[in-house]
């Protein structure tokens, strides 16, 4: 699908999409909960659908209710009678799903093959080769890549892991250990990145009745679970990752109000507010909504995105229109995404006339030049598609984005939401 973005002035209200980070975690916790979980405001992205498909494959029952909520009936994966028969689990292109559900699936004694598609097929899975045997799990990968073949059951044991590649591996272990621990057990973590995502995991574990504490993010102490209630109701909060593009769109071209966000959220990408404030964007933050308005002159900024690497694409769109050079730290976190995001941002925004330099762990964006619409490509990366669309709102001339359908991975209604607030967005045959 090709989409043409024309220069536009935005005005109106838009509701943030459901957080896929929270939705996928909720599905995992609902699978392990021996009872019913009612999820309201469920996500509809491709990654959300992948998580729902996975828990059903593992044995959870899922029913969509008339009110739009989802009822999930989970069970005790550790019981021999519940051991999954040999089965295949497909994670789509969801990195969180494969890194989180691999450990959870291994609670069962069944033989399970885990696969994925697109860029996920090339992401490193060496973590499982290194860690799973220490937990009693039989594991085989394709030279550190998918498919991943595992056979549990997982035995929660004190281990030390490297947290520098992704915090998602740790989330999977925390969930699996919390569900199976019969006595306190400790996971020691070295070089943990993306700590806010672990805060979200811990917050949700607590909500579902688990007790996990940490010592400065270096040691995580998992206690045996208390007796949980039979029924749990969980509301998925709004997604700061998707809303970051809406906020930048407002800062560049118009005046919009965004609802559905928790300003006290543990989500890492809430940090977009810090970057926007640094530019001097006209911003009003309230408990139930955020007003954002464009400014003729935006100041360049320096931002560390090591703990929130998904903010790189919207931050590049923002920096392109700032008066001077902006610097974003954390480039090393972009290597294993849907595309090689650092190079993709450099090349695709270069087509719009934006000069981006990569220097060690820094990305330097030269703003202030005239940004001209051009033919660009998402490279099948949802966040690249949205970043290019946002830049196109203030560019001179039309911006045509190929493979724009990539947005369905995280925010399928993105272009519709832009149209709701006045953006000129047209499909191109």
- Active-site residues, by number, are 310
| Phi/psi at 157 (5° precision) | -135, 145
Distance CA 407, CA 379 (A): 11
**Of 283, 294, 220, 242, residue with least CA distance to 415:** 242
Give the CA distances from residue 348 to residues 4, 252, 375, in Å, rounded to whole numbers and listed in that order.
15, 19, 9
Q: Is 275 left (phi over 0), alpha (psi -120 to 50) or beta?
A: alpha
Distance CA 176, CA 178 (A): 6
Give the CA distances from residue 363 to residues 137, 245, 263, 354, 392, in Å, rounded to whole numbers and listed in that order.
40, 19, 28, 12, 21
* Structural contact between residues 148 and 98, judged by C-beta atoms closer than 8 angstroms: yes
Distance CA 99, CA 359 (A): 30
Strand partners, 115: 90
Q: Calculate the CA 147 to chain-centre distance.
A: 22
């Amino acid at each position: 699908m090709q989409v043409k973005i024309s220069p536009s002035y935005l005005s109106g209200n838009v509701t943030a999409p459901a957080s896929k980070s929270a939705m996928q975690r909720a599905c995992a916790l609902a699978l392990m909960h021996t009872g019913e979980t009612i999820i309201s405001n469920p996500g509809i992205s491709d990654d959300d659908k992948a998580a729902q498909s996975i828990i059903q494959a593992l044995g959870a029952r899922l029913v969509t209710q008339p009110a739009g909520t989802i009822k999930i009936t989970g069970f005790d994966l550790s019981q021999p009678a519940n051991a999954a028969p040999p089965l295949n689990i497909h994670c789509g292109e969801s990195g969180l799903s494969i890194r989180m559900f691999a450990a959870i699936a291994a609670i069962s004694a069944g033989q399970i093959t885990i696969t994925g598609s697109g860029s996920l097929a090339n992401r490193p899975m060496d973590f499982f080769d290194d860690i799973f045997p220490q937990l009693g799990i039989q594991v085989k990968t394709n030279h550190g890549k998918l498919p991943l073949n595992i056979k549990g059951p997982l035995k929660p044991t004190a281990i030390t892991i490297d947290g520098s590649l992704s915090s998602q591996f740790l989330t999977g272990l925390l969930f699996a250990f919390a569900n199976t621990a019969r006595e306190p057990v400790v996971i020691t973590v070295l070089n943990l990145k993306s700590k806010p995502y672990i805060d979200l995991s811990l917050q949700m574990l607590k909500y579902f009745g688990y007790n996990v504490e940490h010592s400065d993010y270096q040691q995580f102490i998992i206690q045996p679970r208390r007796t949980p209630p039979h029924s749990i109701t969980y509301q998925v909060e709004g997604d700061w990752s998707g809303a970051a593009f809406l906020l930048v769109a407002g800062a560049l071209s118009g005046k919009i109000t965004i609802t559905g966000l928790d300003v006290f959220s543990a989500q890492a990408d809430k940090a977009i507010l810090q970057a926007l404030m640094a530019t001097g964007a006209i911003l009003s933050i309230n408990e139930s909504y955020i007003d954002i308005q464009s400014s003729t002159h935006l100041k360049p900024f320096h931002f560390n995105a090591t703990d929130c690497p998904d903010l790189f694409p919207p931050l590049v769109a923002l920096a392109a229109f700032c008066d001077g050079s902006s610097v974003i730290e954390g480039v090393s976190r972009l290597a294993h995404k849907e595309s090689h995001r650092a190079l993709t941002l450099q090349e695709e925004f270069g087509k719009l006339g934006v000069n981006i330099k990569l220097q060690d762990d820094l990305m330097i964006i030269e703003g202030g030049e005239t940004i001209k619409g051009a033919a660009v490509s998402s490279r099948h990366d949802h966040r690249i598609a949205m970043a290019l669309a946002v830049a196109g709102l203030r560019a001179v001339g039309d911006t045509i984005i190929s493979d724009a359908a990539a947005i369905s991975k995280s925010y399928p209604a993105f272009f519709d939401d832009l149209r709701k607030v006045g953006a000129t967005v047209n499909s191109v045959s």
